[in-house]
Structure 1
Amino acid sequence: MSKTVTCLYQDQQKASEIVSRLEQAGISRGDISFYSTASDNLIDDLENDGVPRTDAHAYAEGVRRGGSLVAVECDEDEVDRVVGILDGEGILDLDEQQTAWRSEGWPGYDVSASGSTAGLGSATAAVASDLAGTSETSRARSARTDVTGRDEVIPIAEEQLHVGKREVGHGRVRIQSRVVERPVQEQVNLREERVHVERRPVDRPLSEGDAAFRERTIEAEERREEAVVSKEARVTEEVVVRKDVEQRTETVSDTVRKTEVDVDDERSVRGTGTAGSTDRKGRKG
């Protein structure tokens, strides 16, 4: 038997989170309807899914006022699981919302004109099913829930903190070498030879060592030193690039959520003479 579970949320973000939770739970996206903007066909769409017209008008008014509606089509045996997922933060109590809207002048839907049954609006979610052309609606969640004949389950959830690691850039060092030229000057002493020829008048007797009447040739070569430039490349400094790896311990602080349940047992216990009574030590009197 197919049923439709609907819930109205205060904003689109909360409703989107619920849709994601439904998909993560294995609910097919084709079975999930999400309404965040009012349209002329919204009421008809909800009625086609089995939602009574009085509730359909209320849901449409909630969407028009900025709320978001999530409707899930599921089998009857999946209703409790779907309701448990839909029951999250940001859910609106449809009955309270209609009361507040009527105080502001909202006329609501005239159930007397259509012959529909009054009071079918769910507090926060409506479950509808089609049975041989008739519409059956029951409350999926309210402030007080009748659990006669079935188990009502409140899931206790707790978040766990998982800390991972990733590498991120923290700046870089770039070393680039280039060749530049600069003018230099050095002083060097150079030697240069010069040949001088001069004639000087003399008046003395010819001696045997003069060899005046013999042919002779005298050559004198001038020489000089020139600067010779050579270059020698020498390493004067080294630039060493090295990466050191250090290990550090960082404390990551965050918050995790968990569900806590407070049980208020207001039942009065009446003892009988046959059952006896039990004192603090467990003895029966």
Structure 2
Amino acid sequence: MAVTQDHTGSNAFDNTVVGVYDDFSEAEAAVQALVDAGFRRANVQLNPEKDDAGTTSQGTTSSTSDAHGGIMGFFYSLFGGADSSAHHDVYAESVRRGSYVLTVTVQGEAEADRAAEVMSRFNAVDIDERVGHWKQQGWNRHDETAPRYTREDIERERTAHAQLRFAGPSEATRIPIIEEELKVGKRQVQRGGIRVIRRVREIPVHETVQLRDEEITVERHAVDQPATAADLAEARDRTIEITETDEEAVVSKTARVVEEVVIGKEVTQRTEDINDTVRRTEVEVEQLGAGTSRTGSGTAADDDEFRRHWQSTYGSSGGRYEDYDAAYRYGTTMAGNERYRNYQWHDVEPQLRSDWESNHPGSAWDKVKDAVRYGAERVTGNRRR
């Protein structure tokens, strides 16, 4: 799809929106959709106007006397003179090779965007990709005298074009799918402990004890009395010794164990729940061009089904199919993921919603969830409840 300035228009804001289609019925449907969307039929042109691809081998110029007659004359009138020869060549060559060129004249960017949105619903060709394929075959400009392609020519070129688009690279490109695995082990971590310090300190002690001291006293008394026999018997030499005895305090210490401190470890077991996330690489493969996308084992038939579902489910509310394409592909990816095998929709929808909204912040889940579900059911073949 391309938007090109119409140099012949009298209004400085006139534009021409151009779409190229390989299927005549799709081109006709795009014409009707433009008219239904409010565009004047006189401003909508389809070339060729009937399904005649491959029915003639005549040249693309209907008038040999007019250098700008036939198809080239149509495009010169549309885009102007030699300054737009690139446009002339591309679209004239598209018609020569069996495609249909649809143009609509619009005023302003708003109308151009609206026309492009309508026309893109019907599988418009990526003309830049198509021209790149022609140039690989040696094409550089449109030859007005060259014959139109026959049906066999058209089929052969489109088959080659499809093979070029979908063939793998000459050297395989490997994309590793990386998935993290959570492993929980144990290690010893020093959390703390105790230190026991033993010190000897002196504590003052006060005790009271009674001690006895002896002291010898000598007294002399005057006596006047007759001596007795006993006194006379004691009248001889004699020595008497008397000693004094004192008591003194004797201090001794006896050690006794009065308390003990026991140091040990008490081991207990505990269960700890580990909650974490692991990452896994998911690869989405999207085919560029012609509005066809593939994820996993998707096919062009899937894309057609998705477009039909979009038309019946969302078409009346406006918008574009491209706004929902990612949701359909997300659904196919989800259905092919091992995590959702044998899923029930009501069980997995909260998780899918969270994943979708975190990766597509601009797209509300309630708006696209039917597309996601249909994409999943397209893979499983079952209508889940």
TM-score, normalised relative to structure 2: 0.30
Query: Which protein has the bigger helix share?
Result: 2
Query: Which protein has the bigger strand share?
Result: 1
TM-score, normalised relative to structure 1: 0.40
Is the radius of gyration larger for structure 1 or structure 2?
A: 2
